Amino acid sequence: MTRAGVAVVLVLAAATLGMGFGGFGGKGAFVDFEGLNRRLTQLNRGEPPDEGWGGSEAFELKPPLFWLGGHGAGFVRDFTVGGGGGLTARQARADSVSAEFGAGTGFLEVGYCYSPIQYFWVRPCAELSGAAWILYAHSRESFSEPNFSRWFVGWAVGAMPALELMGRLPYGFRKYAGLYVKGGYFLPFMSPQWYGDESPPDFDLEGWSIEAGVRFGRMPPRSMRI
């Protein structure tokens, strides 16, 4: 198991034992699909650098890119340290070519919990994350044995500064169920690294995102004081 995976397991275990929090949610990422649409359209039409595929339509993938994932964190005084991960999948078709896109991400996160009132917090945070994705484009008559296919595999590392708002409903001794909303901007540290085809699409995961979900945990008394 990778270090990031070990960290996620530890913080989720801490949340389960009542020393932090854990939850799950969905995220919409407003990435730029222009380069990906352009490359897939070239494949469909047989335009350079590809030849011989006679479609006429253009691909029109549009944001947001929806992710589903989970997370967890523990407390160090008023600071949170944790991590999580997520998965996404997308399919698109033109008249001659279909494309399947799938991606996974994992992240480590630090944040600061500020609670101006008892049942609400504001949490500035920053994520360090890695992501990998696969794009499989193929002729439409067959997925398993197509007459035409292309594979593109890419990965990137980056950071996302973010701001989270959460309201909580207490139950038991300092335990709570909460609803949270978090917005941020993913900034890659470098251009995407590609494996496979010599002409990969001009695509990465940079952009704004907004996430919402459900959370369960236990707050240290000091962090929730007015």
pLDDT band at residue 11 under the 50/70/90 scheme: very low
Cα separation, 3 vs 177, whole angstroms:
29
Residue 130: per-residue pLDDT = 95
Token pair listed for 10: 């530890």
Contact 182, 215 (CB under 8 A): no
Contact between 104 and 130 (Cβ < 8 Å): no
- Work out the pLDDT band at 212, boundaries 50, 70, 90: very high
| Separation of alpha carbons 219 and 209, rounded Å | 27
E strand residue ranges, 65-148: 65-76, 79-93, 97-112, 114-117, 120-139
Amino acid at 111: G
Q: How far is CA 148 from CA 49, 106, 137, in A?
A: 15, 32, 8
| Mean residue pLDDT across the chain | 85
8 Å CB contact between 22 and 70: yes
For residue 185, report the phi and psi dihedrals to the nearest 5 degrees. -130, 120
Please report the DSSP string for 163-199 in residue order.
Answer: EEEEEEEEETTTEEEEEEEEEEEEEESSPPEEEESSS
pLDDT band at 47 (very low <50, low <70, confident <90, very high): confident
State the residue range of the domain holding 8. 3-224
Q: What percent of the chain lies above the pLDDT cut of 70? A: 83
Q: Which pLDDT band holds residue 24 (cuts at 50, 70, 90)?
A: very high
Indicate if the pLDDT at residue 12 is higher than 60: no
pLDDT tens figures, 88-97: 999 999 988 9
Rounded-to-integer distance, Cα 72 and Cα 16, Å: 9
What is the pLDDT at residue 53?
66
Taking residues 162-174, what's their average pLDDT? 88
CATH of the domain at 137: 2.40.160.20
Tens-digit pLDDT profile for residues 108-162: 999 999 988 878 999 999 999 999 999 999 887 766 666 788 889 999 999 999 9
pLDDT surpasses 70 at 168: yes
Q: How many domains does the chain have?
A: 1
Centre a 10 Å sphere on the Cβ of residue 221 and count the other Cβ atoms it contains. Answer: 7
pLDDT of residue 192: 86
**Residue type present at position 148:** F
